[in-house]
């Protein structure tokens, strides 16, 4: 991938895609193609085929997806599986049809079983039952992994799948109904702080309502008041969080430095060492054995409980009220920690630790809403 290669980023406005766009631009890539959803509906097979025929990208980052937190995943189950499957099917297939040199497909670590051993290795895929609340989304992402693998094996394409852990960063979704846990906690705790300080104009502006009474009534539905913030579950589940710009750097690193065949060979060398067998190289195309789990986890390899995360956010926001854990609400998977051995062995490690990242994203949120 050289600086003049035509690179298409699907989903360039989202948390993931915007970070990849920024990373590529910072490295001097100057032929980047983007389209908004209004300009290009990736769920529409006909328009996606026409786009690829016209643009003919050399490289594709498939970061477009319908995403959300535990509530959104469990509420809009049909939307999550349908839209994500359609996006993947169209972009991956047209990348094959139009001879894209390399594609990077981004999934999620929710692909792993609910009770997978921790930390989660790539080889744990499809070994047990998925977490129910995000099962449709996870199945869509698993299908994307298998689609990339299958096209590589049948057609000789160079499609790589990466599975980032929980991400946060600039352009994150702070919608109280649909956001992931970290941005949701930041916004809820921030709004509770504003209420406690009687900064009603800022609350009204943040929520886009016309009175503080409406604002308070709306926030009460999410357990937010001047005295406390409600958090679903016990607070005991542990999660791993990765700064989105670190994730983008890992994706660009993999796109520039690794091919599908490299990952297959690395997997087989590791298996040979574990079995204390000699490793004999044969081309990917000539292999008659099973090739699976060629995706790569992207994460930090470090996790934290939701309660600890909430306390970090509370301290950074400087909210003096209480955090109330509603144990009648679901916890979700108790632990989701990625094994990032494969990624580290490729030569990449994260740089932004969680507390620094939370400070950064809170400042970004304040700047976006002009609360300075």
CATH number of 118's domain:
3.40.50.720
Known catalytic membership, residue 59: no
Q: Is 356 helix (H, G, I), strand (E, B) or coil?
A: helix
Q: Which tens digits make up the pLDDT trace of 25-54?
A: 999 999 999 999 999 999 999 999 999 999
How crowded is residue 65: how many other Cβ atoms within 10 Å of its Cβ? 25
Q: In the predicted model, what is the mean pLDDT of residues 143-161? A: 97
Q: Which tens digits make up the pLDDT trace of 206-240?
A: 999 999 999 999 999 999 999 999 999 999 999 99
Confidence at residue 279, expressed as pLDDT on a 0 to 100 scale: 44
The reply to whether the predicted model has a pTM over 0.85 is: yes
Confidence at residue 284, expressed as pLDDT on a 0 to 100 scale: 56
Note whether 254 and 149 are same-domain residues.
yes
Note whether 130 and 271 are same-domain residues.
yes
Report the C-alpha gap between 372 and 369 in whole angstroms: 9
Q: Which tens digits make up the pLDDT trace of 290-327?
A: 899 999 999 999 999 999 999 999 999 999 999 999 99
Q: Is 168 helix (H, G, I), strand (E, B) or coil?
A: strand
Q: How many residues does the chain have?
A: 372
Confidence at residue 196, expressed as pLDDT on a 0 to 100 scale: 97
Note whether 107 and 226 are same-domain residues.
no
Q: In the structure encoding, which two tokens stand for residue 170, read together?
A: 């600039």
Q: Do the Cβ atoms of 325 and 107 come closer than 8 Å? A: no
Looking at the 3D structure of the chain, how many domains does it have?
2
Q: What pLDDT band is residue 372 in, cutting at 50, 70 and 90?
A: very low
Confidence at residue 283, expressed as pLDDT on a 0 to 100 scale: 57
Q: Looking at the domain assignment, is residue 2 inside a domain?
A: no
Note whether 195 and 306 are same-domain residues.
yes
Q: Do the Cβ atoms of 113 and 127 come closer than 8 Å? A: yes
Residue 221 backbone dihedrals phi, psi, to 5 degrees: -65, -25
Q: Do the Cβ atoms of 69 and 178 come closer than 8 Å? A: yes
Q: Which tens digits make up the pLDDT trace of 92-132?
A: 999 999 999 999 999 999 999 989 999 999 999 999 999 89
Sign of CA dihedral 173, 179, 184, 188: positive
Confidence at residue 370, expressed as pLDDT on a 0 to 100 scale: 57
Note whether 103 and 221 are same-domain residues.
no
Domain that holds residue 327: 181-238+302-335+353-368
Q: Which tens digits make up the pLDDT trace of 272-297?
A: 556 555 545 555 555 556 899 999 99
Q: Looking at the domain assignment, is residue 343 inside a domain?
A: no
Report the C-alpha gap between 169 and 359 in whole angstroms: 10
Burial label for 76, CB within 10 Å (0-12, 13-18, 19+), is: middle
Q: Is 231 helix (H, G, I), strand (E, B) or coil?
A: strand
Q: Do the Cβ atoms of 231 and 326 come closer than 8 Å? A: yes
Q: Looking at the domain assignment, is residue 324 inside a domain?
A: yes
Q: Do the Cβ atoms of 94 and 48 come closer than 8 Å? A: yes
Q: Looking at the domain assignment, is residue 283 inside a domain?
A: yes
Q: Looking at the domain assignment, is residue 346 inside a domain?
A: no
Q: Looking at the domain assignment, is residue 1 inside a domain?
A: no
Note whether 33 and 158 are same-domain residues.
yes
Name the more confident of 278 and 267: 267
Q: Looking at the domain assignment, is residue 270 inside a domain?
A: yes
Q: In the predicted model, what is the mean pLDDT of residues 315-340? A: 93
Confidence at residue 280, expressed as pLDDT on a 0 to 100 scale: 52
Confidence at residue 266, expressed as pLDDT on a 0 to 100 scale: 79
Which of 96, 137, 151, 365 is catalytic? The answer is 137
């Amino acid at each position: 991938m050289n600086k003049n290669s035509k690179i298409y980023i699907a989903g360039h406005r989202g948390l993931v895609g915007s970070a990849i766009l920024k990373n590529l631009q910072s490295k001097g890539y100057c032929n980047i193609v983007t389209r908004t959803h209004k300009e290009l509906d990736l769920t529409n097979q006909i328009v996606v085929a026409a786009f690829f025929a016209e643009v003919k990208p050399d490289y594709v980052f498939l970061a477009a997806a319908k995403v959300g937190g535990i509530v959104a995943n469990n509420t809009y189950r049909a939307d999550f599986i349908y839209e994500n499957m359609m996006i993947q099917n169209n972009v991956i297939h047209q990348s094959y049809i139009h001879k894209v040199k390399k594609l990077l497909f981004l999934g999620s670590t929710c692909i792993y079983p609910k009770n997978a051993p921790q930390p989660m290795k790539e080889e744990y895929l499809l070994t047990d039952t998925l977490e129910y609340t995000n099962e449709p989304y996870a199945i869509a992402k698993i299908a994307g992994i298998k689609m990339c693998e299958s096209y590589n094996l049948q057609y000789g394409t160079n499609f790589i799948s990466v599975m980032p852990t929980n991400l946060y960063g600039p352009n994150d979704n702070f919608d109280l109904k649909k956001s992931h846990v970290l941005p949701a906690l930041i916004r809820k705790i921030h709004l509770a702080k504003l209420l406690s300080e009687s900064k009603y104009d800022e609350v009204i502006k943040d929520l886009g309502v016309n009175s503080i009474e409406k604002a308070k009534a709306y926030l009460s539905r999410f357990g937010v008041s001047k005295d406390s913030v409600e958090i679903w579950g016990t607070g005991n589940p542990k999660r791993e969080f990765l700064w989105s710009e670190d994730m983008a750097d890992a994706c660009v690193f993999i796109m520039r430095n690794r091919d599908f065949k490299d990952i297959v060979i690395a997997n087989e060398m590791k298996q040979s060492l574990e079995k204390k067998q000699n490793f004999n190289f044969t081309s990917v195309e000539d292999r008659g054995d099973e090739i699976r789990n060629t995706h790569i986890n992207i994460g930090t390899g470090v996790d934290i409980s939701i309660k600890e995360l909430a306390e970090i956010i509370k301290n950074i926001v400087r909210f003096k009220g209480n955090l109330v854990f509603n144990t009648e609400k679901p916890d979700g998977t108790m632990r989701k920690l990625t094994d990032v051995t494969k990624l580290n062995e490729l030569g990449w490690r994260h740089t932004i630790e969680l507390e620094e990242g939370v400070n950064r994203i809170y400042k970004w949120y304040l700047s976006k809403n002009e609360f300075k």
